[in-house]
């Protein structure tokens, strides 16, 4: 990948496995501070005693997410000895991606040899691949518009080389390919979210999504003429105040043995900049509204990940791309628009625009492609931040089984969701005197009324709406992400597909 570190894999069983000269040596220990026999052999005579003595001085206990760094260690050829604590958790419960990210964070741009083994733990192919993915994600940064790089970045290119010495594993190459594609998908999503809005308008976003064709993804791009012919008047109403034309991109990956099998479908809100329109936002923080397309970015990243590992599933990604601006041609509060479904919508607030985009795309997908399920992602409401902060995405669903599966995928990946209610009472809040519905139900229950609005466009298709306003951009730093654009959702949805929907 263009971003991140270079990672090489070698077997610990190989006779020539050794620490590379001139870099760091990384060893892993639990709370007993013991090294595996092979790690002690590679580190050299006296390494185990050195670790124990230094740990006593530094009060290093080997707990998870802790490290001890010894510079120019006596008797070792490494420039630094980095000892990473793994705690006492069982290997099956360990978050290997987080461990990889934490380790990469301790190394920075330095090159290193890592002995990925300690007593009682011999990571399998999936664990090694997850560790490598976490390391890649941690080292991603978005600095292409900085004319002056940091001295470290100019000297090293911003990344080092990691050599992972791991136990012999069948299937490691396949697992690494899948992890590489998944990391690339997350980074692609981050890149899209981080780009400035004068660069990434709807047309440019569509062009970048079309780049998935090289992986075998079928691409269809609808321009405004196509959307007018179809009747996507709700989506086009959002775009009419901008000089940038709207686009809808349909991405299809046909990986199932039966090409006629109904696809799983993912739909993303792609407002490349949201000024609020006539109902203009306050100026404070408006620059963050370049990230109002994080849902669409996730869908593109997910399709990249599925195609990269040749997932045995038919998957469809659909994104609605618009810019919401307050031009003289912009829609007004009080306007009534007719959606693709034929349902009419009274515009109360032009800043409640994402649901108008999703309404037409959801209807188009469920009517045209008859999917097994639909999951939409959108930075839809500030209300979800009030409810859940930045720890969870809000999940609204009409299907218990699908919701349970996604919750489990969230626990497994750390991209957690929290189920929120749908109820007929919320329908009453979006009743209109003049049309079939209003586009907002007011301040109370804002996330729920938005989801209830979207529910009117899915019919009986199993469906989840993910409100990712708190996690898709500007989310707290983690061991696997130091970027403003998080790429949230790519790992979550890839895990859902992998666990339940591949042949």
Active site residues: 281, 355
**Whole-angstrom Cα distance, residue 454 to residue 120?**
50
- How far CA 106 is from CA of 103, 197, 318, 355, in Å, comes to 5, 33, 39, 42
Strands (E) in 12-56, as ranges, are: 24-29
What is the number of other CB atoms lying within 10 angstroms of the CB of residue 274? 26
Using the structure block, give the residue that is written with the tokens 């919701």: 403
**Whole-angstrom Cα distance, residue 27 to residue 67?**
10
Strands (E) in 237-343, as ranges, are: 247-254, 264-274, 314-324, 336-338
Query: Do 132 and 176 touch, CB atoms closer than 8 A?
Result: yes
Per-residue burial over 417-445, b if 16 or more Cβ lie within 10 Å, else e, is: bebbebeeebbebbeeeebbbbbbbeeeb
Query: Do 7 and 135 touch, CB atoms closer than 8 A?
Result: yes
Three-class secondary structure of residue 152 per DSSP: helix
Query: Do 470 and 385 touch, CB atoms closer than 8 A?
Result: yes
Phi, psi of 368 (to 5 degrees): -90, -40
Query: Do 33 and 67 touch, CB atoms closer than 8 A?
Result: no
**Whole-angstrom Cα distance, residue 437 to residue 320?**
21
Q: Which helix (H) or strand (E) holds 68?
A: strand 66-71
């Amino acid at each position: 990948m263009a971003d991140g570190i270079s990672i090489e894999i070698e077997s610990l069983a190989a006779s020539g496995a050794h620490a590379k000269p001139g870099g760091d040596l990384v060893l892993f220990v639990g709370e007993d501070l013991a090294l595996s026999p092979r790690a002690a052999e590679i580190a050299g005579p006296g390494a185990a005693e050195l670790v124990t003595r230094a740990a006593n001085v530094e009060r290093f206990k080997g707990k998870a997410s802790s490290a001890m760094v010894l510079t120019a260690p006596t008797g070792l050829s490494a420039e630094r000895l980095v000892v990473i604590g793994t705690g006492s958790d069982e290997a099956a419960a360990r978050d290997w991606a987080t461990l990889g990210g934490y380790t990469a964070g301790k190394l920075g741009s330095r090159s290193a040899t890592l002995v990925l083994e300690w007593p009682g733990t011999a990571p399998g192919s999936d664990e090694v691949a997850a560790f490598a993915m976490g390391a890649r994600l941690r080292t991603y940064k978005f600095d292409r518009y900085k004319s002056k790089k940091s001295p470290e970045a100019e000297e090293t290119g911003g990344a080092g080389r990691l050599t992972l010495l791991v136990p012999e594993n069948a299937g490691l190459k396949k697992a690494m390919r899948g992890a590489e594609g998944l990391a690339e998908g997350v980074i692609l999503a981050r890149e899209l979210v981080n780009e400035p809005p004068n660069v990434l308008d709807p047309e440019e976003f569509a062009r970048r999504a079309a780049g998935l064709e090289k992986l075998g993804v079928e691409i269809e791009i609808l321009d405004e003429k196509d959307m007018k012919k179809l009747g996507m008047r709700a989506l086009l109403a959002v775009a009419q105040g901008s000089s940038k034309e709207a686009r809808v991109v349909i991405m299809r990956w046909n990986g199932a043995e039966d090409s006629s099998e109904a696809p799983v479908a993912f739909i993303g809100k792609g407002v490349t900049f949201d000024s609020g329109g006539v109902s203009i936002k306050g100026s404070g923080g408006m620059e963050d509204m370049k990230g109002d397309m994080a849902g669409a970015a996730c869908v593109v990243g997910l399709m990249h990940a599925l195609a990269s590992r040749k997932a045995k599933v038919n998957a469809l990604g659909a994104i609605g791309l618009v810019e919401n601006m307050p031009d003289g041609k912009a829609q007004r509060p009080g306007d009534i628009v007719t959606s693709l479904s034929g349902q009419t919508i009274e515009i109360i607030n032009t800043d409640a625009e994402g649901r108008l985009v999703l309404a037409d795309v959801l209807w188009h997908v469920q009517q045209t492609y008859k999917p097994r399920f639909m999951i939409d992602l959108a930075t839809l409401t500030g209300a979800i931040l009030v409810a859940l902060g930045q720890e969870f995405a809000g999940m609204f669903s009409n299907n218990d089984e699908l919701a349970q599966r996604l919750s489990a995928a969230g626990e497994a990946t750390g991209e957690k969701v929290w189920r929120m209610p749908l109820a007929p009472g919320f329908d009453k809040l979006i009743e209109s005197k003049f049309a079939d519905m209003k586009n907002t139900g007011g301040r109370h229950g804002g996330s729920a009324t938005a989801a209830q609005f979207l529910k009117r466009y899915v019919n009986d298709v199993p469906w989840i709406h993910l409100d990712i306003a708190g996690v898709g951009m500007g989310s707290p730093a983690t061991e696997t992400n130091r970027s403003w654009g998080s790429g949230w959702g790519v790992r979550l949805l890839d895990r859902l597909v992998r666990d339940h929907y591949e042949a």
